[in-house]
Amino acid sequence: MAFDGLSDKLQGVIKKLKGRGKISEAELKEVLREVRIALLEADVNFKVVKDFVKNVNEKALGQDVLESLTPGQHIVKLVNDELTSLMGGSVSKLDMSGRSPLVIMMVGLQGSGKTTSSGKLANHLKKQGRRPLLVACDVYRPAAVKQLEVLGKQLDLPVFSLGTEISPVEISEKAIAHAKEYGNDIVIIDTAGRLHIDEALMDELKNIKEKVSPKEILLVVDSMTGQDAVNVAENFNNLLDISGVILTKLDGDTRGGAALSVKSVTGKPIKFAGMGEKMDALEPFHPDRMASRILGMGDMLTLIEKAQTSFDQEKAKEMEKKMMKAEFTLEDFLYQMEQMKNMGPLDQMMEMIPGMNKAKMGDMQLNEKEMAKTQAIIRSMTPGERRNPSIINGSRRKRIASGSGTRVQDINKLIKQFSDAQKMMKQLSGQMSKAKKGGKSKIKFPF
Amino acid sequence: MGIFDKLKQTLKSSFGNEKLEESLSKTRRGFIDKVVDVFTGREIDDDFYDELEELLIQGDVGVNTSINLVENIRKRADKERIKTSDELKEIFASEIAELMGTEKTMLNLKENQLNIILVVGVNGAGKTTSIGKLTYKLKNEGKRVLLAAGDTFRAAAIDQLKIWGDRNGVDVVAHQEGADPGAVVYDGIQAALARKSDVLIVDTAGRLQNKVNLMEELKKIKRIIDREAEGSLSEVLLVLDATTGQNALTQAKLFKDTADVTGVILSKLDGTAKGGIVIGIKSELGLPVKLIGTGEKIEDMQDFNPESFVGALFSGMEDETNE
């Protein structure tokens, strides 16, 4: 069920027109049809899509897409820019102004991820030096209070709860008093999941809001939500005038068109994205990256950022030097693999690269196992062996194999590959230095 | 007899079922009113087909299924020389009925042996709640049920299942949070065999379908079941949130590939309940919906009956026709 990226699809359409360069108005219509389908496949609400495509059509006619010699790229860029600006342009932060304690209310449908997000948000604020108090107001779902308590314990943060017999309105009022007394500057209220059409429960939220006047009301939305995201967001916003959105489960493989739907019906910014099950997996929401994701165009920015945070810049330079001199050892190789792992699962990284999709990634899983195996082998070597693999004789190979739980053939293969790579680097560095003098070689780094 | 009369009959016979009708009435209000609008007194032109397609997409039917469905209807209309939209209604209804099938797909439970039901799904789909409701349903059918708390990952998931166990008066086999779910399943099977339980329902942690390691864990759980109680795994049920969009298809596909899912529990159908997703999953993956969740109360789960489901979807339209 792998989606092809929009750019792939548009390329397909445009290929048909190739050789003629410019496209006609009728052909533009066909291209925009593909845009429409891509957005619908990404779960963007159909009404939102309709307006969007109309908008892009006008802009495309206004600008000179029809005159452009690369109309496909032109349109993709136009669509991408338009999506980004629709989703808010830049990162939007929490409003932290005003008197302490600041109250943040978490609302949403059942199973959207309110409790987990409450924990993550508290953790996020704690790291910024705040003293958040978590408040357990989900008195309906079995063990929801317990869930928040467990999260509080994990994060070493206080949780205010009064069991399940007291009304959520009363709990939140008492929580504020508690926060004042104990010096908590932020109060995060975890409310029960509810349907946007359940009037009684929606009224309860309204009552809580009136009593605690929250600075932020964050609607928690599952990024996998379909066409209905519009109705949910509209109802919650009409009743509560939400201040922002947290989009959850974005570490899944959904395109997340709900983001666009929610933003365009409420006009409220998406402030955070939930990216995993761990308590630190909450990231600021980047509209530009989300645009690329919805269009299936990959997310190079996140990838580069991840590389920057997980790679030690100094070390990287050193490594480059070593490679140039062909002094790259197995030890360096091991280090580099560890750095790669720091960036996250390989398949997740690959997905960020434009043009990569599930079909092309078939073997990724294997590679990750292969990588773990290689690591185990190198770790079973002595430092001397890592620096100078040529000393690894038969009996050493046997020892390394049993140490790493692999076979001698695996050791042979790795050493062979490594010495091949070394040879290649030598050749390359030779050519590179020549190129520097001559200045006209196109050889690029192997890594 | 036209398909609408037939559907109406089905409706009458199978709708002592007020709950379904009540929960589906929301679906009808939103979705079917619009279908009726599109179909009433219209000329058949490109705009008509566009609107119909949009309507299906809006119901989360899925882009491919919607396009194909409309294409089929268009072909039949041409062939049968249909000119007005009212006549097309029947064709539309029969095409949908064809995609959905008419067979009622019940849980496959065998007599006089242990039946294991493995419940899987993404985070927040409603697995634990569905298990609570399913337990109630099976107990009412006279089955002896045991639960195994295989979600050892999420905070307080074990407590959540235990509360459902208490409400139903059935025992829950559980370990500590963070324990190996495989070990919980092993103990669950031993306990179920010793007590001669009819059904063992295994809860699992929510996992996104693209997390390969977690999906592998499901395979391990299945291996343990096959080894310790061969032939007892009667159902692997995927819980799908009815509000989910296109991603539900990927979910269904990947869970089917890894865990050999045998059927779907469609949860939260009382909310927005477009129901369209079901059509896509049945037609693109051949996975039947077996149960639906229609509310928050313990009795809010029932067998899925495609014929009455389709019937319920169209009952609004039928009324319109009669007026």
Most confident range, picked from A41-55, B17-31, B251-265: B251-265
Mean pLDDT taken over chain A:
82
From A275, A297, A319, the end of a domain falls on A297
Region B102-120: what's the mean pLDDT? 91
Bridging pattern class, strands B289-293 and A216-222: unpaired
- Report the CATH number that the domain containing residue A352 is assigned in CATH: 1.10.260.30
Shared domain check, A411 and A311 = yes
Are A10 and A76 spatial neighbours (Cβ–Cβ below 8 Å)?
Answer: yes
The helix/strand/coil state of A102 is: strand
Phi, psi angle pair for A360, to nearest 5°? -75, -15
**Among candidates A109, A142, A257 on the partner chain, residue whose Cβ is nearest the Cβ of B243:** A109
pLDDT of A349 higher than 70: no
B246 to A253: CB separation less than 8 angstroms, yes or no: no
Per-residue pLDDT reduced to its tens digit, A247-286: 999 988 888 889 999 999 999 999 999 999 899 999 999 8
* Inside any domain, residue A92: no
Shared domain check, B231 and B143 = yes
Q: Considering only alpha carbons, which residue of chain A is nearest residue B128?
A: A142
Residue-wise DSSP of A235-271: HHHHHH---EEEEE-TTSS---THHHHHHHHH-PPEE
Place of tokens 């695996």: A410
Contacts of A267 (CB under 8 A, 6+ apart): none
Q: How many CB atoms lie within 10 A of CB B43?
A: 9
Shared domain check, B231 and B88 = no
Shared domain check, A356 and A270 = no
Residue A366 at interface with chain B, using a CB cutoff of 8 Å: no
Sign of CA dihedral A373, A378, A382, A385: positive
B245 to A151: CB separation less than 8 angstroms, yes or no: no
Are A276 and A252 spatial neighbours (Cβ–Cβ below 8 Å)?
Answer: no
Structural domain range at position A79: 6-86
Residue B29 DSSP code: I
pLDDT of B16 higher than 60: no
Higher pLDDT among residues B82 and B220, named by residue: B220
pLDDT of B36 higher than 50: yes
Region B76-81: what's the mean pLDDT? 88
In the sheet where B199-204 sits, what is the strand order?
Answer: B172-173, B145-150, B199-204, B115-120, B233-241, B263-267, B289-293, B301-303
Instruction: Identify the pLDDT of residue A39.
Output: 87
Shared domain check, A322 and A285 = no
| A-B contacts at Cβ under 8 angstroms | 140
Structural domain range at position B22: 3-104+309-322
Tell me which chain A residues have a C-beta less than 8 angstroms from the C-beta of B248.
224, 226
Helices marked H in A143-242 — which ranges? 144-155, 168-182, 199-212, 229-240
Shared domain check, B232 and B153 = yes
* Inside any domain, residue B227: yes
Burial of B41 (0-12, 13-18, 19+ CB in 10 A): exposed
> b/e per residue, A70-108, with b = 16+ CB within 10 A?
ebbebbbebbbebbbebbbeeebebeeeeeebbbbbbbb
Tokens of B96: 């949908």
* Inside any domain, residue A76: yes
Instruction: Say how many domains are in chain B.
Output: 2
* Inside any domain, residue A121: yes
* Inside any domain, residue A446: no
Shared domain check, A351 and A258 = no
Shared domain check, A426 and A321 = yes
* Inside any domain, residue A445: no
Determine which of A118-132, B169-183, B288-302 has the lowest per-residue pLDDT on average. B288-302
Shared domain check, B317 and B236 = no
Instruction: Identify the pLDDT of residue B319.
Output: 38
Shared domain check, B229 and B92 = no
Instruction: Identify the pLDDT of residue A3.
Output: 39
* Inside any domain, residue B160: yes
* Inside any domain, residue A400: yes
Instruction: Identify the pLDDT of residue A83.
Output: 87
* Inside any domain, residue B110: no
Shared domain check, A280 and A168 = yes
H helices then E strands: how many in chain A? 19, 8
Q: Give dist(CA A290, CA A286) in Å, integer.
A: 6
- Report the CATH number that the domain containing residue B21 is assigned in CATH: 1.20.120.140
Instruction: Say how many domains are in chain A.
Output: 3
Shared domain check, B250 and B158 = yes
Counting residues of chain A whose pLDDT is more than 70, the rounded percentage is 76
* Inside any domain, residue A94: no
Rounded to the nearest 10 degrees, how much is the dihedral formed by the CA atoms of A56, A59, A64, A66?
Answer: 40
Residue A439 at interface with chain B, using a CB cutoff of 8 Å: no
Shared domain check, B186 and B59 = no
Are A136 and A218 spatial neighbours (Cβ–Cβ below 8 Å)?
Answer: no
Burial of B244 (0-12, 13-18, 19+ CB in 10 A): buried
Tell me which chain B residues have a C-beta less than 8 angstroms from the C-beta of A33.
none
* Inside any domain, residue A403: yes
**Long-range contacts from A285-289, C-beta under 8 angstroms, 24+ separation:** A285/A91, A285/A92, A285/A247, A285/A259, A286/A91, A287/A83, A287/A84, A287/A85, A287/A87, A287/A88, A287/A89, A287/A90, A287/A91, A288/A84
Are B101 and B282 spatial neighbours (Cβ–Cβ below 8 Å)?
Answer: yes
pLDDT of A1 higher than 60: no
Are A187 and A101 spatial neighbours (Cβ–Cβ below 8 Å)?
Answer: yes
Shared domain check, B141 and B252 = yes
